[in-house]
Amino acid sequence: MWERTYFMIKPDGVHRGLVGDVVRRIEAKGYRISAMKMIRITGDEAREHYAEHVGKHFFSDLVGFITSGPVVAMVLEGEDAVEGVRKMMGSTDPKASAPGTLRGDLGINLSRNVVHGSDSPASAEREISIFFEPGEIMDFTRNDEKWVYPEEK
């Protein structure tokens, strides 16, 4: 099923110069980047983004880290994009992530794991709406999609 998902390169990935490598891997896998921008997340946006973690002992650290520097926010599209992008990312803890995954190859530890991706279609819709206006999301077809997705969407 064709889906949209929210994906973010976190401040550690931006500061370590990993944006190009991460974007290359996303595109090589065949996902369409229909929106992308570098932003500095506000405290309010961070609290809304991490709302499911309110009250947990690590909540303030999450908010502090994600607002500590620029991030690259994206809307990705593709067949089963939520699940596929989650597999590309690997386990939340890079030490438990398989080699070949973004976190397995690039992450340092649980709090410096380089990327975030929505965990469900409902989360994707919610997270996209926090960081993107509808007019910022491009509707187009990549030239290689007939090779990546030979069936009609």
Q: Which long-range contacts (CB under 8 A, 24 or more apart) does 116-119 make?
A: 116/6, 116/7, 116/8, 116/10, 117/5, 117/6, 117/7, 117/8, 117/82, 117/85, 117/86, 117/89, 118/5, 118/6, 118/7, 118/82, 118/85, 119/82, 119/86
- Which element (helix H / strand E) includes 8? strand 2-9
Query: Is residue 15 flagged as an active site residue?
Result: no
Give the position of tokens 């983004």.
49
Instruction: Say which of 15, 49, 57, 116 is annotated catalytic.
Output: 116
Q: Answer whether 32's CB lies under 8 Å from 145's CB.
A: yes
Active-site residues, by number, are 116
